[in-house]
Amino acid sequence: MKQKVLVIGQSDYKPGFSLVGVDYITLSEPSEVRKLLRKIYEEKNYGLVIIEDDYEKYFDHRTKLIVYESTNPLFFLLSFDTKHKVSVEEQISEVIRMSLGVQLKIKS
């Protein structure tokens, strides 16, 4: 089965990710993230799930275990905040390096 990439974040970034074929979910209620992540973990339809790090404050203990210990799918918290110390491009490059073992430079 072919696994896809999913991003869970605010609607601001949906068009950009959708252009490159990445599935994107914006939650109407941030607290729904726990239920969604458990479902994604059980179904195994995605190989990589990128979660906007603002949702982390809604994780309970079980959700944290799933996100931090799962390798299929691989969950990765990413900050879309422009004031974050590390740019989104650098964060995505790190995800690719960690999951594929290859360093990829992303030009903006």
Per residue in 60-93, pLDDT (tens digit) is 999 999 999 998 998 988 887 666 676 666 766 6
* Mode of pairing for the β-strands spanning 46-52 and 74-78: parallel
The strand ranges marked E within 3-73 are 4-8, 23-25, 46-52
Domain boundaries, the chain: 4-81
CA–CA separation, 88 vs 78, rounded Å? 7
Q: What is the pTM of this model?
A: 0.77
Q: Which residues contact 74 (CB under 8 A, 6 or more apart)?
A: 47, 48, 49, 99
CATH fold of 4-81: Rossmann fold (3.40.50)
CA–CA separation, 46 vs 6, rounded Å? 7
